[in-house]
Structure 1
C-alpha cells in the first residue's frame, strides 16, 4: 500500500464557530466518549447557565477531538443529529480536506490507528487532564496516508464490519435487559412470601490462615453480578487471621455491600475459594427452596432494593447489612414446583444472555484486530 506523507494541517483544518448566546435560549452540548465510541448529548442548558463559558457550534461532518482525552481516542465525526449543537472550548472541530483524505478513514486512523500515536506525541503530560492536545504541535505533526480511493475502500470495509459488531452488541444488551424484565415479571407477582431465614441457614467453614500457604480468594460484584476471583494471596500477606471457605451451592453475601446487591449462590468453579469474615455463607434448605431459583433470586433487583434500607452505620460505604437483617428480609417463595418452573424459564433466558456476553468479549478483541489489519495493509 503506497503512502504519502502530509502535515496534519494539510489534511484537516481547525474551524471555530463562536456562539453568540441568546438570552433565555436553551442549548445542547456534546461530549465525546473515548476509544472511538462516539458523541453523546448532554441535557439542554440555558444561556444563563452557560454564563461566560466559551462555546462553539458543531456542524455535521466535523471531525471533533476532545483536547483533554484525544490521547485515549476521544475522536468522533459529527452527524446530522449534532446539527445546531454546541461544544465547549475543549472540543476542537476540524474540516477534512477531502482531496487527500476520507473523513471515515481519518476517524479510525486517529482513534485506533497510527494517528493515535501522533495525537499522543502532541499531548504532553503524564496522565488524565494533564495530557491536553497541543493544537499547534498537532498541526505540524507528519502522518502518512494512502490515496483517497484506497482510504474509501478501507473505510467502507471497516464501516460494514463495525456496524455488524455494533448490532450484535446491541442485541446482547437487549438480551440482558429482557432477562431482567422477565425475572421481574415472574418474581414480583408471586404472592407467597417468606423471610429468607426460612430458606437459608448460617453455615460458615472458617479456617485459620497458614502463613506458609497460598489462598485463592474471591469478592462479590454488586447488582447480583456474582463472584469474581481475586489474585491468589500468601498467608503472610493477609490481614485476616481466618478465612471462610466457600462450598458449591451456598448462598453468600457481602456485609459491606449487601445493600448494593452483592449476593450470589456459589457456582462449582468457586468451590474451596476463600473469602473474609465479611462474607457470611448459608446452606439452602432443599425442602424449602430450589437451588436454581435461589440463584436467580440473588440476581433480582427487587431483592437488592429490599436491602437498600437494611444497612447500619454512617455513610454509603459503611452501611453493613448484618445477618439478622438479611434473614429477616421477605422474598417471593412459592411452592417448590412453582420455584422450579420459574427457574427453568429464567435459566433459559439467562443462558442466552451469557452466550451474548461471551460473544461481546470476542467482538471487543475483534475491533482492534480489524483496525490493525486495516492500517497494516491487510484489509
Structure 2
C-alpha cells in the first residue's frame, strides 16, 4: 500500500500571539521519542508557521526523519504547538496502526525509504518531500497482526531502553577512576606536596619547519582520553601550523584548555603537543606515574573546577596548577603505591571496556529487534 493511501496529513494552523504562552513540540533522532519544551511566550518561538495536531498521529521531522526522528504523539504532545518542520499523519481508516508504521520507518529498510525521499546532499539540508514520502509503498498485514507486532515491539524496546538507562555509564566509570585514585594514593601518602616541588614546566617550543628532534608524532588534546590518563590516538608530523611544544618519555602532558575534561597523559615517547597542553617534567621527588595520578585525582579535579568554573572558556593558569598540592608518597611507600596504582588502573579500564561492549550490544539490539519484526521472525 502507498503511505498516502492509508495515512493523511492533519495539522491545523495556529495564529501565534507574541504575549501568549505556548509549549513547543520537538523530536529526538534515532527513534528516541518526542520532546515537550518548557512553556514560552509566542515571541520566543521560531518565526516558522505553527500548527496544532492530534494524539495518536505518526509524526516525522522533515529535516531529521532520515536519521530516525519518527514517533507517535500522545495526549501531552497534543497540548503543544509544532512548527512547519513536523509532519503529522493519521489513519484514513481502520486498516493501519500508526505504531506499526512508526516501527517500520525505524527499520533499516524504512529509514532507507525515507532517505530516498529526503532531498539534498548535505545532512542538514536533507528535507523530506511530502509527495515522495506519501508515494512510499509498505506491506501491511491484517490490523490484528499489526497490533500484535506493535504491542510486542512496545514491550521489547521499552525493556531495551530501560537497560540502556539503568546500566552503568562511561561517566560512572570516569567518576570511579578519579575518586578511586584519591583512595589508592591516600593509602600510602604522608601529607601533600606542591606540584612545582616534584616537577617543572618545560616550554620546548618548535616552530613550523624547525628541527623536531626525535619527535615523530603529534599528540593533541583530542588524542587523550578524559580522566583515564590514556592516549587514544596521534597523527604523523608534517603538516603542523603554528608553534608546538616538544615532549619526551616520562613527561606529563596536562590539558589546561577545558581542564574539566581532566586530560592528563604520562608520555612514553618523543613527540610534539599543542600549546593548549602544559609539559611537566618530574624532578625526582616522586615517580612520574604517581604525579600523573595525583593530577588526575578527584581532589585535584575539584580544585581545578573551583578555579575555572566561572570562565566562559575555562583555562587553568600555569601558576595555579604549579601551586596545587597532590598526595606526597615518600620513597619507602612508592613501590607499593605504584603496584596498587597499576592494579587499580587495570581493573577500572577492564570495567570500562566491559561497559562499552555492553552498551554496543544493547544499542545493536534495537535494529535487530525491528528487523526481526518486519521479516516475520517475531
| Same topology, TM > 0.5 | yes
Distance in 1 of aligned mates of 2:355 and 2:104: 29
Q: In structure 1, what is the Cα distance between the partners aligned to 2:15 and 2:167?
A: 43
User: How does 1:228-377 map onto structure 2 within 5 Å?
Assistant: 228-230=231-233, 232-233=235-236, 235-236=237-238, 244-247=247-250, 251-255=252-256, 257-266=257-266, 271-272=268-269, 274-276=271-273, 278=275, 279=277, 280-283=279-282, 285-286=285-286, 290=290, 294=294, 296-297=296-297, 301-306=301-306, 308=308, 316=313, 321=316, 323-328=318-323, 330-331=324-325, 333=327, 355-377=354-376
- Secondary structure (helix, strand or coil) at the match of 1:145 reads coil
Cα distance change, pair 242–346 in 1 and its aligned pair in 2 (3 A): closer
Structural RMSD (CA): 4.7
Q: Does 1:109 align with 2:104?
A: yes
CA distance in 1 between partners of 2:46 and 2:355 (Å) = 46
Alpha-carbon distance in structure 1 between the residues aligned to 2:228 and 2:28: 25
In structure 2, relative to structure 1, the CA distance for the partners of 1:301 and 1:58 (3 Å cut) is farther
Determine if the alignment matches structure 1 residue 169 to structure 2 residue 164.
Answer: yes
- C-alpha displacement at 1:66, in angstroms? 0.8
Q: How many Å separate the matches in 2 of 1:354 and 1:281?
A: 29
In the aligned structure 2, how far is the partner of 1:304 from the partner of 1:220? 21
Q: Distance in 2 between the 1:178 and 1:217 partners?
A: 24
Q: Is contact 2:160-2:362 (8 Å) kept? A: yes
Q: Which runs of 5+ in 2 are unaligned?
A: none
* Structure 1 segment 26-37 matched on structure 2, within 5 A: 26-37=21-32
Q: 1:361 Cα deviation (Å)?
A: 2.4
Q: Is the 8 A contact 1:204 1:245 kept in 2?
A: no
Structure-2 separation of matches of 1:222 and 1:299: 19
Paired with 2:297 and 2:67, the residues of 1 have a C-alpha distance of: 39
CA distance in 1, matches of 2:88, 2:105: 14
Would the alpha carbon gap of residues 113 and 72 (structure 1) be closer, same or farther in structure 2, given more than 3 Å must change?
same
- Give TM-score, length-normalised by structure 2: 0.72
Check conservation: 1:261, 1:303, Cα contact below 8 A. no
Where does residue 3 of structure 1 map in the other structure?
none
Whole-Å separation in 1 of the counterparts to 2:347 and 2:295: 13
Task: Assess if the C-alpha contact under 8 Å between 2:51 and 2:82 holds in 1.
Answer: yes
Q: Shift of the alpha carbon at 1:305?
A: 1.4
Structure 1 portions without partners, runs of 5+: 1-5
Alignment of 1:149-160 (within 5 A): 149-160=144-155
Distance change >3 Å, CA 159–CA 300, structure 1 → 2: farther
8 Å contact from structure 1 (residues 63, 76) kept in 2: yes
CA distance in 1, matches of 2:29, 2:265: 35
Aligned length: 359
Q: Aligned in 2, Cα 1:210/1:154: closer, same or farther, shift over 3 Å?
A: farther
- Contact 1:205/1:245, CA 8 A, preserved across alignment: no
